[in-house]
Protein backbone atom coordinates (compact mmCIF):
# COMPACT_ATOMS: atom_id res chain seq x y z
CA UNK A 1 0.00 0.00 0.00
CA UNK A 2 1.41 3.45 -0.86
CA UNK A 3 2.56 5.59 2.03
CA UNK A 4 0.39 8.55 2.88
CA UNK A 5 0.10 11.38 5.37
CA UNK A 6 -3.06 12.45 7.19
CA UNK A 7 -3.92 16.06 6.39
CA UNK A 8 -6.01 18.52 8.41
CA UNK A 9 -8.33 20.64 6.28
CA UNK A 10 -10.54 23.66 6.80
CA UNK A 11 -14.32 23.51 6.28
CA UNK A 12 -13.91 25.29 2.97
CA UNK A 13 -11.33 22.74 1.85
CA UNK A 14 -13.56 19.89 3.02
CA UNK A 15 -16.48 21.32 1.08
CA UNK A 16 -14.33 21.59 -2.05
CA UNK A 17 -13.05 18.03 -1.64
CA UNK A 18 -16.56 16.66 -1.18
CA UNK A 19 -17.71 18.43 -4.33
CA UNK A 20 -14.69 17.22 -6.32
CA UNK A 21 -14.91 13.61 -5.12
CA UNK A 22 -18.65 13.20 -4.82
CA UNK A 23 -18.59 9.57 -6.03
CA UNK A 24 -16.35 8.63 -3.11
CA UNK A 25 -19.16 9.59 -0.76
CA UNK A 26 -21.81 7.49 -2.47
CA UNK A 27 -21.90 5.84 -5.88
CA UNK A 28 -24.17 7.65 -8.30
CA UNK A 29 -24.29 10.83 -6.22
CA UNK A 30 -24.33 14.09 -8.17
CA UNK A 31 -23.34 17.57 -7.05
CA UNK A 32 -26.15 20.15 -7.22
CA UNK A 33 -25.07 23.29 -5.37
CA UNK A 34 -23.55 24.71 -2.20
CA UNK A 35 -23.81 27.57 0.29
CA UNK A 36 -27.48 28.10 -0.49
CA UNK A 37 -28.99 30.67 1.87
CA UNK A 38 -31.90 29.64 4.14
CA UNK A 39 -33.64 31.16 7.14
CA UNK A 40 -31.39 29.03 9.40
CA UNK A 41 -28.10 29.80 7.65
CA UNK A 42 -26.30 28.54 4.57
CA UNK A 43 -26.60 24.97 3.37
CA UNK A 44 -23.16 23.40 2.98
CA UNK A 45 -23.66 21.15 -0.04
CA UNK A 46 -26.65 19.85 -1.99
CA UNK A 47 -26.64 16.59 -3.95
CA UNK A 48 -29.00 14.41 -5.92
CA UNK A 49 -28.69 10.64 -5.53
CA UNK A 50 -29.06 7.90 -8.14
CA UNK A 51 -32.78 7.63 -7.32
CA UNK A 52 -33.29 11.37 -7.96
CA UNK A 53 -33.75 12.18 -4.25
CA UNK A 54 -32.50 15.56 -3.07
CA UNK A 55 -29.70 15.27 -0.49
CA UNK A 56 -28.78 17.91 2.09
CA UNK A 57 -25.21 17.54 3.44
CA UNK A 58 -23.86 19.22 6.58
CA UNK A 59 -20.06 19.20 6.95
CA UNK A 60 -17.87 19.69 10.03
CA UNK A 61 -14.11 19.38 10.53
CA UNK A 62 -14.51 18.57 14.25
CA UNK A 63 -16.84 16.31 16.20
CA UNK A 64 -19.88 18.47 16.95
CA UNK A 65 -23.17 17.16 18.35
CA UNK A 66 -24.91 20.43 17.47
CA UNK A 67 -24.49 19.68 13.77
CA UNK A 68 -27.44 17.27 13.96
CA UNK A 69 -29.89 19.96 15.07
CA UNK A 70 -28.49 22.43 12.55
CA UNK A 71 -28.82 19.86 9.78
CA UNK A 72 -32.43 19.10 10.75
CA UNK A 73 -33.25 22.80 10.44
CA UNK A 74 -31.84 22.73 6.90
CA UNK A 75 -33.69 19.49 6.16
CA UNK A 76 -36.93 21.08 7.29
CA UNK A 77 -36.39 24.14 5.12
CA UNK A 78 -35.56 22.09 2.03
CA UNK A 79 -38.49 19.72 2.58
CA UNK A 80 -40.91 22.63 2.83
CA UNK A 81 -39.53 24.18 -0.38
CA UNK A 82 -38.67 21.00 -2.27
CA UNK A 83 -40.70 21.77 -5.38
CA UNK A 84 -39.04 25.18 -5.63
CA UNK A 85 -35.59 23.59 -5.30
CA UNK A 86 -36.50 21.02 -7.97
CA UNK A 87 -37.42 23.84 -10.34
CA UNK A 88 -34.36 25.89 -9.43
CA UNK A 89 -32.04 22.97 -10.14
CA UNK A 90 -34.05 21.57 -13.05
CA UNK A 91 -31.00 20.19 -14.83
CA UNK A 92 -30.29 17.87 -11.87
CA UNK A 93 -33.49 15.82 -12.39
CA UNK A 94 -34.60 16.08 -8.75
CA UNK A 95 -37.81 14.17 -8.08
CA UNK A 96 -39.86 16.17 -5.54
CA UNK A 97 -42.00 13.11 -4.78
CA UNK A 98 -38.97 11.34 -3.28
CA UNK A 99 -38.11 11.97 0.40
CA UNK A 100 -35.21 14.32 1.06
CA UNK A 101 -32.10 12.64 2.48
CA UNK A 102 -29.71 14.08 5.07
CA UNK A 103 -25.93 13.48 5.14
CA UNK A 104 -23.70 14.39 8.08
CA UNK A 105 -19.98 14.40 7.31
CA UNK A 106 -17.42 14.80 10.12
CA UNK A 107 -14.16 13.23 11.30
CA UNK A 108 -16.07 11.42 14.06
CA UNK A 109 -19.46 11.25 15.75
CA UNK A 110 -20.22 10.91 19.45
CA UNK A 111 -22.28 7.97 20.65
CA UNK A 112 -24.92 10.46 21.78
CA UNK A 113 -25.38 11.78 18.25
CA UNK A 114 -25.55 8.27 16.79
CA UNK A 115 -28.16 7.26 19.38
CA UNK A 116 -30.26 10.34 18.65
CA UNK A 117 -30.21 9.55 14.94
CA UNK A 118 -31.72 6.16 15.77
CA UNK A 119 -34.93 7.84 16.89
CA UNK A 120 -35.24 10.43 14.13
CA UNK A 121 -37.63 9.30 11.43
CA UNK A 122 -35.88 10.85 8.43
CA UNK A 123 -33.32 9.25 6.07
CA UNK A 124 -29.99 10.15 7.73
CA UNK A 125 -26.56 8.87 6.70
CA UNK A 126 -23.41 9.47 8.78
CA UNK A 127 -20.01 9.61 7.08
CA UNK A 128 -16.69 9.93 8.87
CA UNK A 129 -13.73 11.06 6.83
CA UNK A 130 -10.00 11.54 6.84
CA UNK A 131 -7.97 13.42 4.26
CA UNK A 132 -4.73 11.94 3.03
CA UNK A 133 -1.86 12.93 0.75
CA UNK A 134 -0.04 10.13 -0.99
CA UNK A 135 3.74 10.16 -0.85
CA UNK A 136 5.13 12.02 -3.83
CA UNK A 137 1.83 13.75 -4.62
CA UNK A 138 0.42 17.16 -3.74
CA UNK A 139 -3.19 16.05 -4.16
CA UNK A 140 -5.36 15.69 -1.07
CA UNK A 141 -7.82 12.81 -1.24
CA UNK A 142 -10.81 12.38 1.11
CA UNK A 143 -11.56 8.89 2.42
CA UNK A 144 -15.14 8.38 3.61
CA UNK A 145 -16.63 5.64 5.74
CA UNK A 146 -20.37 5.34 6.40
CA UNK A 147 -21.22 4.77 10.06
CA UNK A 148 -24.01 2.40 11.00
CA UNK A 149 -26.98 3.87 12.84
CA UNK A 150 -28.56 1.16 15.03
CA UNK A 151 -32.23 0.47 14.39
CA UNK A 152 -34.70 1.15 17.20
CA UNK A 153 -36.75 -1.72 18.54
CA UNK A 154 -39.69 -2.24 16.22
CA UNK A 155 -42.90 -1.66 18.09
CA UNK A 156 -46.13 -2.57 16.33
CA UNK A 157 -48.54 0.23 17.08
CA UNK A 158 -52.17 0.64 16.18
CA UNK A 159 -54.11 3.82 16.77
CA UNK A 160 -57.78 4.46 17.37
CA UNK A 161 -59.96 7.52 17.77
CA UNK A 162 -60.87 6.36 21.26
CA UNK A 163 -57.17 6.36 22.21
CA UNK A 164 -56.69 9.87 20.87
CA UNK A 165 -59.80 11.17 22.65
CA UNK A 166 -58.88 9.37 25.89
CA UNK A 167 -55.68 11.42 26.06
CA UNK A 168 -57.83 14.47 26.85
CA UNK A 169 -58.62 14.43 30.58
CA UNK A 170 -61.19 17.25 30.54
CA UNK A 171 -64.63 15.79 29.76
CA UNK A 172 -65.96 19.00 28.24
CA UNK A 173 -62.97 19.46 25.96
CA UNK A 174 -63.13 15.81 24.91
CA UNK A 175 -66.78 16.22 23.94
CA UNK A 176 -65.95 19.37 22.02
CA UNK A 177 -63.25 17.54 20.02
CA UNK A 178 -65.63 14.67 19.23
CA UNK A 179 -68.37 17.08 18.16
CA UNK A 180 -65.94 18.93 15.90
CA UNK A 181 -64.97 15.75 14.08
CA UNK A 182 -68.60 14.71 13.71
CA UNK A 183 -69.41 18.09 12.21
CA UNK A 184 -66.45 17.90 9.80
CA UNK A 185 -67.57 14.45 8.59
CA UNK A 186 -71.07 15.82 8.01
CA UNK A 187 -69.69 18.39 5.55
CA UNK A 188 -69.24 15.56 3.05
CA UNK A 189 -69.54 12.03 4.38
CA UNK A 190 -68.49 10.49 1.07
CA UNK A 191 -65.23 12.39 0.66
CA UNK A 192 -64.12 12.90 4.29
CA UNK A 193 -61.68 10.55 6.00
CA UNK A 194 -60.77 10.70 9.69
CA UNK A 195 -57.57 8.80 10.59
CA UNK A 196 -55.99 8.46 14.03
CA UNK A 197 -52.19 8.77 13.74
CA UNK A 198 -49.43 8.59 16.33
CA UNK A 199 -50.07 11.82 18.22
CA UNK A 200 -53.01 13.38 16.41
CA UNK A 201 -56.07 12.87 14.23
CA UNK A 202 -55.69 13.48 10.51
CA UNK A 203 -58.61 14.98 8.58
CA UNK A 204 -58.70 14.42 4.82
CA UNK A 205 -61.06 15.40 2.04
CA UNK A 206 -60.74 13.93 -1.44
CA UNK A 207 -57.54 12.21 -0.26
CA UNK A 208 -55.79 15.43 0.88
CA UNK A 209 -55.01 16.39 4.47
CA UNK A 210 -56.61 19.72 5.27
CA UNK A 211 -56.30 19.68 9.08
CA UNK A 212 -55.00 17.86 12.13
CA UNK A 213 -56.47 17.71 15.61
CA UNK A 214 -53.81 17.20 18.26
CA UNK A 215 -55.14 16.25 21.72
CA UNK A 216 -53.66 17.74 24.87
CA UNK A 217 -54.67 16.98 28.44
CA UNK A 218 -56.91 20.01 29.02
CA UNK A 219 -57.38 21.29 25.46
CA UNK A 220 -56.70 20.36 21.87
CA UNK A 221 -55.02 22.02 18.91
CA UNK A 222 -56.41 22.49 15.43
CA UNK A 223 -53.67 22.62 12.81
CA UNK A 224 -54.64 23.85 9.36
CA UNK A 225 -53.44 26.24 6.69
CA UNK A 226 -54.04 29.94 7.24
CA UNK A 227 -55.07 32.37 4.50
CA UNK A 228 -51.45 32.55 3.30
CA UNK A 229 -51.28 28.77 2.94
CA UNK A 230 -48.99 28.29 5.96
CA UNK A 231 -49.69 25.53 8.48
CA UNK A 232 -50.83 27.25 11.67
CA UNK A 233 -51.79 25.96 15.13
CA UNK A 234 -54.95 27.12 16.89
CA UNK A 235 -55.19 26.08 20.59
CA UNK A 236 -58.80 25.30 21.53
CA UNK A 237 -59.67 25.75 25.23
CA UNK A 238 -63.26 26.98 24.91
CA UNK A 239 -66.02 26.91 22.25
CA UNK A 240 -65.21 30.54 21.42
CA UNK A 241 -61.65 29.54 20.51
CA UNK A 242 -63.01 27.19 17.88
CA UNK A 243 -65.13 29.70 15.96
CA UNK A 244 -62.35 31.25 13.86
CA UNK A 245 -60.40 28.00 13.50
CA UNK A 246 -63.47 26.18 12.23
CA UNK A 247 -64.06 28.82 9.57
CA UNK A 248 -60.52 28.36 8.28
CA UNK A 249 -60.91 24.58 8.37
CA UNK A 250 -64.07 24.87 6.30
CA UNK A 251 -62.37 27.13 3.77
CA UNK A 252 -59.57 24.56 3.31
CA UNK A 253 -62.10 21.73 3.20
CA UNK A 254 -64.08 23.39 0.41
CA UNK A 255 -60.93 24.25 -1.51
CA UNK A 256 -59.49 20.73 -1.34
CA UNK A 257 -62.83 19.04 -2.09
CA UNK A 258 -63.01 20.55 -5.57
The residue ranges of every structural domain in the chain are 4-147, 161-257
What are the C-alpha distances in Å from 225 to residues 62, 99, 109, 180, 234?
Answer: 40, 22, 38, 17, 10
Parallel, antiparallel, or unpaired: how do β-strands 140-147 and 192-196 relate? unpaired
CA 139 to chain centre: 37
* CATH classification for the domain delimited by 4-147, as one of 3.40.1350.10, 3.30.70.20, 3.10.20.30, 3.30.70.890: 3.40.1350.10
What is the pLDDT tens value at each position of the chain, 258 positions in all? 578 888 888 889 998 999 899 989 988 899 998 877 777 778 889 999 988 999 999 999 999 999 999 999 999 999 999 999 999 988 888 999 988 999 999 999 999 999 999 999 899 999 999 998 888 788 888 899 988 888 877 666 789 999 999 999 999 999 999 999 999 999 999 999 999 998 899 999 999 999 999 999 999 999 999 988 888 999 999 999 999 999 999 999 999 987
Return the pLDDT at 250.
96
CA dihedral for 208, 210, 216, 220, sign (positive or negative): negative
Given CATH 3.30.720, say whether it is the number of domain 161-257: yes
SS3 127: strand
Parallel, antiparallel, or unpaired: how do β-strands 231-236 and 124-134 relate? unpaired
How many helical (H) and strand (E) elements, i.e. helices and strands, does the chain have? 8, 12
47 neighbors 58 (Cβ within 8 angstroms): no
Return the pLDDT at 201.
96
* Best CA proximity match to 56, nearest among 110, 122, 117, 104: 104
CA 102 – CA 46 distance, rounded (Å): 10
Amino acid sequence: MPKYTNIDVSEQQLEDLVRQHVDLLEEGLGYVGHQRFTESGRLDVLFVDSGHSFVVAELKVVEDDAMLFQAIDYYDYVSLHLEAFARLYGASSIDPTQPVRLFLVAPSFSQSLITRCKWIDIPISLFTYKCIRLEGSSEIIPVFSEQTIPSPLEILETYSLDDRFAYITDDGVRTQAKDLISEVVSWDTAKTLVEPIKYAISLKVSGRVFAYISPRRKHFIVETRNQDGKWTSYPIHTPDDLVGAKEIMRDNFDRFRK
